[in-house]
Structure 1
């Protein structure tokens, strides 16, 4: 039997296979195997899911950006230019995007986005978040959003409610979750299934607002938060209907002297309904 070669694989099959190998291989390995693989790697379908390392420009380590410059004989290339180049390969078909620190909001013009994770670099996140409510108006397919911080959170989730009918998962790093934010989550995302507020400042009364208002929660992560005690049995009772409730490491703010009084008022109201 004659040995079959990878380069003889049908084009559509090649695209299907290469779309699963990951962004790094698509950039640094696949194009250099053979002409047919290079041609297949240019198909936008190969670039639907793009996962960038958080930091791709480090002086003390050899990064993906360094590998790209070395492979393509490029002397200078900024993180922003590199990110735009890679996202541009999808021709607007990118459905899953995890962005690195150091790129601008220009890379967010992808109407097919289903999953988006913004950088954790808080200085840059402010630039993204200032225009994010407007951009969300283009993302009718968006289901999962991870934010680098909680700035403009109310405006963002209000727009999600107006645009994204299938939205189900929100993650916010080190969020300040006051009454306004908690109420906005309940009002605009009543059907949310996954909510991650790990490391947040969230007073118990605001946690109660979320627990009572978001009846469809399957996953709630409030680990390492400040504002409530993770071992309080009453907290566990309020969250007893949530399949995965993660609260380890959360503790009451030592300055929150009115916790007991506030809780009794809210909990009595909860039990009477």
Structure 2
């Protein structure tokens, strides 16, 4: 039959694009574009680049991906910043999810590149350098459709960031971070992010009073993760507070740790390792 001799390269571009949308960023960058011209054209469809998840890619200079990328694009040395720019450019504004590599981190330059993705609904940020944290509010200001934000730790600019999110987007339903949660932080969560359905503060310093303010202020919470926190324990009263929340995860949380921390003056370095 004639159809038996049909080649993949002859498949309609729309069909190829539908298949390529299921591939990883690694395959889209160093695999399919170099098979043939038709595959290259199909791989440039912006809808193939809507999910920019860099979590599981090995960006070390000696990794297979880094070496292949350098060879394919004839660059002397691989850089994450360059790869990010390529992915954002190919998305042409259609990216809806962005997950930075947690181990590799992100520079201020990378954040400004991400600012171009104005349709982002979900963002996962790594730890930022202390000098970069003050710039976070101006970055999130561009994400007017943001629904979900995860931060590896609470930035020093959290109050300003939460305020900016409240001004820029009214659809944020998920927040994840850890750090020392103080009275003003709890107030910012309640006042600026009133529609939260998911909140994860696990491994934080979370005093009982701040937990109470959040639980009683965020009326739409469906899931609250507060595992391995210091500052409260899930006694009968706390459990009663959270009785209206579908899922309250509090395993491992306690009032004191072995070093005796029980105030909001705890060492932030300690918070990162509990």
TM-score by length of 2: 0.84
In the alignment, which residue of structure 1 is the partner of 2:22?
Answer: 20
In the alignment, which residue of structure 2 is the partner of 1:185?
Answer: 189
Q: Distance in 1 between matches of 2:254 and 2:57?
A: 31
Superposition deviation, residue 247 in structure 1: 1.1
Q: 5+ residue gaps in structure 2?
A: 264-274
Superposition deviation, residue 116 in structure 1: 0.8
Contact kept, 8 Å, 2:230 with 2:262, in 1: the verdict is: no
Is 1:235 the counterpart of 2:238 in the alignment?
yes
Aligned runs of 1:124-143 on 2, under 5 Å?
A: 126-127=131-132, 129-143=133-147
Deviations 1:203-247 (A, max 9, x none): 0110000011111111111111111114x2222111111112111
**What is the SS of the residue equivalent to 2:123?**
strand
Superposition deviation, residue 53 in structure 1: 2.9
Superposition deviation, residue 257 in structure 1: 7.2
Is 1:226 the counterpart of 2:230 in the alignment?
yes
Is 1:164 the counterpart of 2:153 in the alignment?
no
Q: Distance in 2 between matches of 1:19 and 1:10?
A: 15
In the alignment, which residue of structure 2 is the partner of 1:93?
Answer: 94
Q: Distance in 1 between matches of 2:34 and 2:262?
A: 65
Contact kept, 8 Å, 1:42 with 1:89, in 2: the verdict is: yes
Deviations 1:8-65 (A, max 9, x none): 3222222222122121110121112222111111122211111113774436x62533
Aligned runs of 1:1-273 on 2, under 5 Å?
A: 1=1, 2-3=3-4, 4-53=6-55, 56-58=58-60, 62=63, 64-100=65-101, 101-103=105-107, 104=109, 105-109=111-115, 110-120=117-127, 122-123=128-129, 126-127=131-132, 129-151=133-155, 152-172=157-177, 174-230=178-234, 232-253=235-256, 255=260
Cα 1:253/1:55, change in 2 over 3 Å: farther
Q: Distance in 1 between matches of 2:228 and 2:19?
A: 41
In the alignment, which residue of structure 2 is the partner of 1:263?
Answer: none
Q: Distance in 2 between matches of 1:63 and 1:220?
A: 39
Contact kept, 8 Å, 1:65 with 1:82, in 2: the verdict is: no
Q: Distance in 1 between matches of 2:254 and 2:15?
A: 53
TM-score by length of 1: 0.84
Contact kept, 8 Å, 1:229 with 1:251, in 2: the verdict is: yes
Contact kept, 8 Å, 1:56 with 1:79, in 2: the verdict is: no
Q: Once superposed, what is the RMSD of the aligned Cα atoms? A: 2.2
Superposition deviation, residue 126 in structure 1: 4.9
Q: 5+ residue gaps in structure 1?
A: 259-273
Q: Distance in 2 between matches of 1:144 and 1:126?
A: 24
Larger deviation, residues 85-94 vs 72-81: 72-81
**What is the SS of the residue equivalent to 2:91?**
coil
Deviations 1:173-211 (A, max 9, x none): x32110000011111112110111111111011000001
Cα 1:135/1:187, change in 2 over 3 Å: same
Q: Distance in 2 between matches of 1:238 and 1:5?
A: 63
